[in-house]
Structure 1
Amino acid sequence: MILISSCFILLINAVTSRQDKYLSYNRITSLILLYSIFLAFNSLDIICLGTGIGIYGGLFLITSIRQNFVVFILILSFFILQLISFHNRDFKYLKKPLIKQISDNIEKTERNAIIDLSGIIDFPTIILFILVGAVCLMSCCDLITMFLCLELQSYGLYILSSIYRNSELAIGAALTYFLLGGLSSCFILLGSALFYVNTGITFIEGIYALYSSTDVMLIQSQDWILNLFENQVKEEWIKTNEVNPIESFDISLIILSIGYLFKVSSAPFHFWSPDVYDSLPTLVTTFVAIMAKISIFIFMLDLVHFSSEAKTEFFWTDILLISSFLSLIIGTVVGLVQTRIKRLFAYSTISHVGFILLALTINTLESIQAFIFYLMQYSLSNLNFFFILLSMGYYLWYYHSYYLLKDQLNSPLQLIIQVKGFFYKNYMLSLCLAITLLSFAGIPPLLGFFGKQMVLSAALDKGFYFMVLIAIITSVIGTSYYLAVIKLVFFSENNDIIKEHYNETINTWNWNYIKSELIKTKIIKKKIRLLSTSLSLMISCLTLIILLFIIKPDPWLSSVKILTIMLFNS
């Protein structure tokens, strides 16, 4: 459905004579996503979905977990697309000539902002192609299709990152993302090639079965042979014996996992993500930071779970555990010294990726349940955070913040200090931001607390006491930079003023006072409305999910538990 719709929209773009109907294209794409969600959700009723359904000659395998996450990413994409499906600000109520200079500048800024944020007609088409790659990646069962689907998703993200050609920072970030993404793809391709060299097959399920049986046969044959010889002969036999195929299996998976850790920006392969997230337009960062990780983590879930039977002394998932440890440390410590809000968010993401990798590495019933729950709740919290970030940016346009920054049309909110005193501009939006940040910090009874609690509980049951200690310490330290942002929002004075070249007589007045005076004199006939109904509704719903999860947690937790049991029984 998504692929056919993508081709249909491409055809429309090719034959249309009107290139200014970007809102219509975005709304059509929203309807396509809604219909795709309906089809994917209806397919969950298929009984044999629990054991898996092979399609296209076994190249893809549809299971309950994968299909549920297909629905999940389609819903997230629908929410993201609403950011550019409606105009978010309206300044037409400003009358002339009393504040003509202010009105002219505001309308000019508004017009430029709309062109930069929504006027690219190819935006929804690129999103659909990225979704095709993400959906296929989660369902692939062959190394070749895995690489092709991953590259389809990645190249769509590269194009999306460079789509704002008027932004020097965005082009630089897109080039960095492309080069390092290509490097990670080389690791993935090398790991896949080693699999094929050692086994002669590319079917992933066949590789699991082969190495699981080889492990048992190899151990039995080694024990029987070594019992026939003296110690000296044993040592010579071990030295001259061929390489353990399970060890080559581990090496291949280690190389493959390094490529995936690059993609999800996990330490020590994280160095590209703060620069890329900070330089990209906020609208693009919203999609890149959320959607690029979900499909890769779901594929890694199957990779870890079904390869766990062929364990050796140093198993390949140990590198995931090391990466989890480094992600927790680096994401927390380096985040303490950040002054730019999207760089702070990038390091916060690295820290949370450490929790996700910890749950993935343990590979027990409880840990996989924690992994699925954490991935879903953090994606929702991320989405809400970016919605709030964009909404605050609209307010900075309106108030004409006195910070002169590069690329401020595409990313009006860049510095942490720009949220200073935002409570006096919009107290409800500030409250939503505080709830989201406290959820990131894991403060009860918010949604993020339950995700961290489930991961730590699974790690304690499995004996990962040191990792639990590190996770708790880093969570406490990381809370400080979330609280610092909240302190700026609620307890600092609002210093935004009108720029001098707008009107010399009011250049030192607080805009809240100007607004109240204009309303009193009926120059402004209605209350100021900077956010569209769709954006306000999405922020409200996501914030209520984060805040009120404790009231009705059973449906979500029960669904996650059922999916985990089906995975272990498959």
Structure 2
Amino acid sequence: MIILSSCYLLLINAVTSRRDKTLSHNRITTLILLYSTFLALNSLHMTCIETGIGVYGGLFLVTTITQNFVVFIFILSFLYIQIESFYCRNLQDINDPDAAYDKGWSAPFDPSLVGILDTSVNADGQYNIMVISSLLDFPIIILFILTGAVCLMSCCDLITMFLCLELQSYGLYILCSIYRNSELVIGAGLTYFLLGGLSSCFILLGSGLLYANTGLTYLDGIYMIYNLSDTMITQGQEIISLLEYQVKTWIKSDEINSIHTFDMSLIILSVGYLFKVSSTPFHFWSPDVYDALPTIITCFVAVMAKISIFIFMLDLVHFASGAKTEFTWTDILLISSFFSLIIGTIVGLIQVRIKKLFAYSTISHVGFILLALTINTIESIQAFIFYLIQYSLSNLNFFIILLTMGYYLYYYYPTMKMTDQVNSPLQFIDQLKGFFNKNHMLSLCLAITLFSFAGIPPLIGFFGKQLVLSAALDKGFYFMTLVAIITSAIGASYYLVIIKSIYFDKDRQIADEHFVEIIYDIYWNSFKLRGEKVNILKNKNRLLSTSLSLIISGLTLIILLFIIKPLFLLSLVSVLALILFNT
């Protein structure tokens, strides 16, 4: 469905001569994602999916876990597309304010404010704030990325794994550099492309080593040989089959410090995946890239790009972590989890740019996810799935609120000039000072989301961290549990800094009324709203657009009210973990 829809949108884009159809394409994409979600949900009724269905000659294996996360990715993508599916302005009229007024668009705008549109005035004289994007290829790229992500979660062959990963990655590279009018965006896209290519080289090298040592690309066969080679051949052992003996003597190698060839291959493979998810010590690219990218692009890259990789790594760790040697390849993930918790927390304390701070916050949360993944018990897999779901929802909500707040500030500081402020209107934590006085509900939603990141009960983020720490204690990871608790407590401080700026710091709005009038006369005098001048700077009574209001309020209520009805999600992750271990 996704592939056919992508081709359909490409055909529409190729035959049309109008460049103002972004709104229509975004809305068509929302319908495509809704129908794809329905198809994925309908397939969950097939009982044979519990043990998995091999498709395309065994290149892909559709299981209950992969199918549930396909539904989850489609829902998140649907919510993401809503950010830019409702607006009324096209690029060809940006430099013609009179044309906008003649067409019935009721709010003034400035040619420099490409990222904002005030589309309508309701009966109470309030303005609606909406976010726009005038990129025609945007929804097509999103669909291609989703195609790679969906296939990556289900692939069970090294070749299809690499192809699906690159399909997802190339779409992300194009998406990161799609705003070609900004040097910062192009630089961030180039950085992401070069380091993403480097990580793909590690993945390709690890895959090549696995094939060179086993002669197989099919992952189930590799898992079988890996677990068969774990039993050491000792003197006095009973006679075993010739095949098993050959496998053991072929795979095992005592000449490389008790690390057999499989571990070396999987370590190299895991390094590439840790690059992709920006885990320490391969995190150095993410803070600068996240900060330079447009906020709307950062939202997709930070949320969607990691889910498919973590789900693929779930099968890889579960079926290839049974080695009995002193050092296994999964210990690399545990070490990465430890340093991610430390670096993501400590370095985040000194950040003043909000997207850089969030990048280090993401690194810290990746440490929790890797900790749950490495333990590999029923309880830890439950914690892993639950943490991935709740963090993705909170992550999406945070970015949508951040984007909305940034464009909201245009109405109060129209003369504020920053580098690339059109693509990223909110860049510094100081910009949020006194924002509670401008919009109470939006500030409250952001505070709830940040408290969830910090793990404050009874929000959904608290239950995610509690499940991970409980699974680590049950398995005997006492030191890692202590580190996770300490870093979580320290990391809560930089979330509190943002909340302090919003609620307790002095409002940054201009206090000098005379200066306000001067700015008004210079900046807004040439615009009209229904034939009358309106002082935009003094009007604080503004509303969000319906799409943004529904998304923010819905996600915030899920975060806040999860404790009222937690059984649905907890039962779901428990069933998925049990199915994984029973197969």
TM-score, L = length of structure 2: 0.87
Is 2:188 aligned against 1:173? yes
Report the secondary structure of 1:448's partner residue.
helix
Partner of 1:368: 381
Is 2:133 aligned against 1:118? yes
Alpha carbons of structure 1 residues 41 and 245: separation in structure 2 relative to 1, 3 Å: farther
CA deviation vs aligned residue, 1:521-569 (integer Å, no higher than 9, x gap):
9999x99545210110000000000000000001110011001000000
Counterpart selection for 2:146 from 131, 136, 140: 131
Runs of 4+ in 1 over 6 A off after TM superposition: 105-109, 111-116, 239-246, 498-503, 519-524
CA deviation vs aligned residue, 1:225-262 (integer Å, no higher than 9, x gap):
9xxxxxxxxxxxxx997779971000000000000000
CA deviation vs aligned residue, 1:243-285 (integer Å, no higher than 9, x gap):
7997100000000000000000000000000000000000000
CA distance in structure 1 between the aligned counterparts of 2:235 and 2:155, rounded to whole angstroms: 35
Contact 2:253 2:260 survives alignment (8 Å): no
CA distance in structure 2 between the aligned counterparts of 1:502 and 1:24, rounded to whole angstroms: 42
Contact 1:393 1:412 survives alignment (8 Å): yes
CA distance in structure 1 between the aligned counterparts of 2:423 and 2:113, rounded to whole angstroms: 16
Q: Which amino acid aligns with 1:196?
A: Y
Alignment of 1:13-412 (within 5 A): 13-87=13-87, 110=116, 117-216=132-231, 219-221=232-234, 224=237, 247-400=260-413, 403-412=416-425
CA drift at 1:118? 1.0
Partner of 1:458: 471
Alpha carbons of structure 1 residues 354 and 503: separation in structure 2 relative to 1, 3 Å: closer
Is 2:429 aligned against 1:416? yes
CA distance in structure 2 between the aligned counterparts of 1:149 and 1:83, rounded to whole angstroms: 27
Contact 1:190 1:256 survives alignment (8 Å): yes
CA drift at 1:108? 7.7
Contact 2:382 2:573 survives alignment (8 Å): yes
Alpha carbons of structure 1 residues 336 and 104: separation in structure 2 relative to 1, 3 Å: closer
CA distance in structure 1 between the aligned counterparts of 2:399 and 2:536, rounded to whole angstroms: 34
Q: Which amino acid aligns with 2:172?
A: L
Contact 1:116 1:409 survives alignment (8 Å): no
Across the two proteins, how many residue pairs are aligned to each other? 542
Contact 1:66 1:138 survives alignment (8 Å): yes
- What percent of counterpart residues are identical? 71
Higher helix proportion, which one? 1
Contact 1:500 1:507 survives alignment (8 Å): no
Unaligned runs of 5+ in 1: 96-100, 226-238, 512-518
Partner of 1:514: none
Contact 1:184 1:260 survives alignment (8 Å): yes
Contact 1:162 1:174 survives alignment (8 Å): yes
Report the secondary structure of 1:220's partner residue.
coil
CA drift at 1:214? 2.5
Partner of 1:4: 4
Q: Which amino acid aligns with 1:174?
A: G
CA distance in structure 2 between the aligned counterparts of 1:552 and 1:278, rounded to whole angstroms: 36
CA drift at 1:312? 1.7
CA distance in structure 2 between the aligned counterparts of 1:419 and 1:308, rounded to whole angstroms: 46
Q: Which amino acid aligns with 1:256?
A: L
Contact 1:402 1:497 survives alignment (8 Å): no
More divergent stretch after superposition (389-398 vs 103-112): 103-112
CA distance in structure 2 between the aligned counterparts of 1:178 and 1:522, rounded to whole angstroms: 45
Q: Which amino acid aligns with 1:153?
A: Q
Contact 1:374 1:452 survives alignment (8 Å): yes
TM-score, L = length of structure 1: 0.89
Contact 1:192 1:252 survives alignment (8 Å): yes
More divergent stretch after superposition (529-538 vs 454-463): 529-538
Counterpart selection for 1:550 from 563, 566, 576: 563
Alpha carbons of structure 1 residues 202 and 545: separation in structure 2 relative to 1, 3 Å: same
